[in-house]
Amino acid sequence: MPINFQYIKSIVPGVGLALVFCLFSQGINNVLAIEIFGTVKSPISTVLIAILLGILMGNAFTPRPGMMVGLDFTQQYILKLGIIFLGIRLSFSDLIKFGSIAIPLVIFCILGVLILIKLLIKKVPISSKMSYLIAIGTSVCGATAIVATAPVINAKKTEVAYAIANITFFGVIAMLIYPYFAEWYFDNNALKAGLFLGTSIHETSQVAAAGLIYDQQFNNPGTLDVATVTKLIRNTFLVVLIPLFAFLYNRGEVKDQKYSIFNIIPYFVIGFIGMIIIRNLGDQLFSVENNNFYLWFKFIEYLKILTTVFLTMAMAAVGISINLSELKSMGYKPFIVGLIAAVTVGIISLIYIEFLENFFF
């Protein structure tokens, strides 16, 4: 397939802007730490600065359409590449260990939110389609789940837009607050904090950002690893839930719903596992006794740095793309349902972690 130079040229301005925000955020972080607080690190992480700067600039100035092409590319592809590269940090034993604990928690959170929203819509009347979208967005993987579910329940564009705005609003709030709450509540326990962040925050990008904030602020990279594995496990539940939602919504009606499993498989999950395989094979091939061990070690370190840069760029792009005025048009009923669902999934996560503390921690 020939290279589309025109497309590459079109994404450069937006990608470049995201990179500038990433570097500028790191500069602000250094100034806050060294010049103002006189500490080794700033009390505000680089990722958090990038998000807040993006929101500020994106709402103070309307980004040009030419910029949005590259910003969308950064959110969709550079973000996913950063998540894939996170796999270089993990071993197979880590994946199995984290996954075995996370899977029951993810199931409990999904069931809890689905049951709650089913009860809520009797008290806070919103459309059944909207309730399905908010439920799957909260319990699985945010906007991706909403967009994937909308066609199989014939949701209107306005319902999709409201549900995404709802998920975005509460996800961003959780992303900014939960890393600090997790540190206070779990006392720097990487496994507990990672499980909580991975199940209680909506979007994959928001979970990655929250884990990175925790890592940067509290020197605990294990939290990011656990949160990422937990969130990617949540994402894979789309394969089960979308056909289930299609059946539940259309039961009693003869409809030929068309959707492909290939459109709902999160491919970056496969890439993430692929990087784990590469890391483990590399560790076997380039052992400490091998002359190439140093090069392999440096490669891993550079890839970790690149991961941080990609994720920070993506979150800056997310911030720029958040239109606060659009969030005002949600209406209070979906807002109430989304708020209760977001709080509930966090509470379920806390209860599960506390209940199983004697078994796993």
Model confidence, pTM: 0.81
Residue 19 belongs to some domain of the structure: no
Nearest to 71 by CA among 8, 14, 143: 14
Which position has the token pair 């995404």? 164
Output the pLDDT for position 254.
Answer: 44
- Asked if residue 259 belongs to a domain, the reply is yes
How high is the pLDDT of residue 166?
81
**Among candidates 309, 318, 324, 217, which has minimal Cα distance to 20?**
309
Residue at 352 is within a domain: yes
- Whether 57 is covered by a domain: the verdict is no
In a domain, residue 313? The reply is no
- Domain tally for the chain? 1
pLDDT in tens, the chain (361 residues): 456 778 888 899 999 999 999 999 888 888 877 777 666 666 677 888 888 888 888 888 877 777 889 999 998 899 889 888 988 888 778 888 888 888 888 888 888 888 887 787 777 777 778 888 888 888 887 777 787 777 777 777 777 777 887 888 888 899 989 999 999 999 989 999 999 999 999 888 889 889 989 998 898 888 999 999 998 888 888 777 777 777 766 654 545 555 555 555 667 778 888 898 998 888 888 766 666 777 888 888 899 899 889 988 988 888 888 777 766 665 677 788 888 888 989 999 999 888 876 665 5
Q: Helices 204-218 and 293-321 meet at what angle, rounded to 10?
A: 120
Distance CA 322, CA 278 (A): 36
> The domain containing residue 108 runs over which residues?
90-307+322-360
Confirm whether 5 is domain-assigned: no
Predicted local confidence at residue 315, as pLDDT: 85
Q: Shortest CA distance to 111 belongs to which of 237, 201, 236, 247?
A: 237
Tell me the C-alpha distance between 38 and 32, whole Å. Answer: 8
SS (H, E, C) the chain: CCCCHHHHHHHHHHHHHHHHHHHHHHHHHHHHHHHHHCCCCCCCCHHHHHHHHHHHHHHHCCCCHHHHHHHHHHHHHHHHHHHHHHHHHCCHHHHHHHHHHHHHHHHHHHHHHHHHHHHHHHHCCCCHHHHHHHHHHHHHHHHHHHHHHHHHHCCCHHHHHHHHHHHHHHHHHHHHHHHHHHHHHHCCCHHHHHHHHHHHCCCHHHHHHHHHHHHHHHCCHHHHHHHHHHHHHHHHCHHHHHHHHHHHHHCCCCCCCCCCHHHCCCHHHHHHHHHHHHHHHHHHHCCCCCCCHHHHHHHHHHHHHHHHHHHHHHHHHHHHHCCHHHHHHHCHHHHHHHHHHHHHHHHHHHHHHHHCHHHHC
Distance CA 86, CA 274 (A): 11
Domain for residue 206, yes or no?
A: yes
42, part of any domain: no
Token code pair at residue 339? 């708020």
d(CA 205, CA 312): 10
In Å, how far from its chain's centre is CA 335? Answer: 21
> In whole angstroms, how far apart are CA 353 and each of 14, 172, 194, 347?
41, 23, 11, 10
